[in-house]
Amino acid sequence: MFELHGHPHPEFTQRIRDWGFTAGQAARLWRCLYREFATSAAECSGLAGDFREQIARHAVFSQPSAVQISDAPDGLARKYLLALADGERIESVWMRFRDRATVCVSTQAGCALGCVFCATGQLGYRRDLTAGEIIGQALFMRQRESAGPDRPPLRNVVFMGMGEPLVNYDAVIRAARIFGDPAGLSLGAKQLTISTVGVIPGIVRLADERQPYSLAVSLHAATQAERLAVVPAARAWPLDELIAACRYYCDKLDRKIFFEWTMIEGVNDSLDQALAVVELLRGMPAHVNVIPLNPTDAYDGRGAARPGLERFRETLLKRGLPCTIRQRRAIEVGGGCGQLNPAAGAARPAAPMGPTVGSTEPSNR
Residues recognised as catalytic: 91, 337
* Site for ligand SF4 contains 295 (CB under 6 A): no
Instruction: Please report whether residue 202 would count as binding ligand SF4 according to CB under 6 A.
Output: no
In sequence order, the 6+-apart residues with CB closer than 8 A to the CB of 203 are 166, 196, 215, 217, 242, 245, 246, 248, 249
DSSP state for residue 91 in the 8-state scheme? E
CB nearer to ligand SF4: pick between 136 and 338: 338
62 contacts ligand SF4 (rule: CB under 6 A): no
Candidates 293, 301, 300; CA nearest to 261 is 293
**Min. distance of Cβ 352 from ligand SF4 in angstroms?**
22
Q: Of 16, 33, 197, 243, which one interacts with ligand SF4 (CB under 6 A)?
A: 197
Q: Does 120 bind ligand SF4 (CB under 6 A)?
A: yes
Does residue 105 touch ligand SF4 according to CB under 6 A?
Answer: no
Q: State which residue has the least CB distance to ligand SF4.
A: 121
Site string for ligand SF4, 151-190 (x = CB under 6 A): -----------xxx--------------------------
**Which member of 82, 95, 113, 246 binds ligand SF4 (CB under 6 A)?**
113
In total, the chain counts a number of residues equal to 365
26 binds ligand SF4 (CB under 6 A): no
Using rule CB under 6 A, residue 309 touches ligand SF4 = no
Choice between 108 and 130, CB closer to ligand SF4:
108
CB-nearer residue toward ligand SF4: 54 or 262: 262
Q: Does 136 bind ligand SF4 (CB under 6 A)?
A: no
In 3D space, the residue among 245, 237, 195 whose CA is nearest the CA of residue 215 turns out to be 195
93 binds ligand SF4 (CB under 6 A): no
First to last CA, the chain: 34
- Burial letters 72-82, b for 16+ CB under 10 A, else e: beeebbbbbbb
Q: Is 90 in the site for ligand SF4 (CB under 6 A)?
A: no
Whichever of 136 and 202 has its CB closer to ligand SF4, that residue is 202
Residue 115 binds ligand SF4, judged by CB under 6 A: yes
Q: List the one residue out of 147, 183, 140 whose CA is nearest residue 161.
A: 140
Q: Cα–Cα distance between 271 and 312 in angstroms, integer?
A: 7
Helices (H), 155-238: 169-180, 200-208, 224-230
Cα 255 to Cα 92, 188, 215, 283, 351, distances in angstroms: 28, 15, 9, 13, 35
Backbone phi and psi for residue 142, each to the nearest 5 degrees, phi listed first: -60, -40
Applying CB under 6 A, among 211, 327, 341, 364 the residue interacting with ligand SF4 is 364
Q: Rule CB under 6 A: is residue 278 a binding residue for ligand SF4? A: no
Whether 198 contacts 233, CB under 8 Å: yes
Taking CB under 6 A as the binding criterion, the range among 41-49, 71-79, 112-120, 303-311 that sits at the site for ligand SF4 is 112-120
Nearest to 194 by CA among 357, 356, 365, 62: 365
Rounded to 5 degrees, what angle do the CA atoms 180, 64, 92 make? 65
Residue 230 binding ligand SF4, by CB under 6 A? no
- Taking a C-beta distance cutoff of 8 angstroms, is the pair 338, 297 a contact? no
Closer residue to ligand SF4 (CB): 113 or 173: 113
Least distance CB 343 / ligand SF4 (angstroms): 14
Which of residues 8, 114, 238, 358 is near ligand SF4 by CB under 6 A? Answer: 114
Task: In angstroms, give the least distance from the CB of 124 to ligand SF4.
Answer: 9
**Cα distances (Å, whole numbers) of residue 161 to 4, 26, 66, 108, 269:** 23, 31, 16, 8, 24
Residue 129 CB, shortest distance to ligand SF4, in Å, is 12
Interaction between residue 118 and ligand SF4 (CB under 6 A): yes
List residues near ligand SF4 by CB under 6 A.
111, 113-115, 118, 120-121, 162-164, 197, 364-365
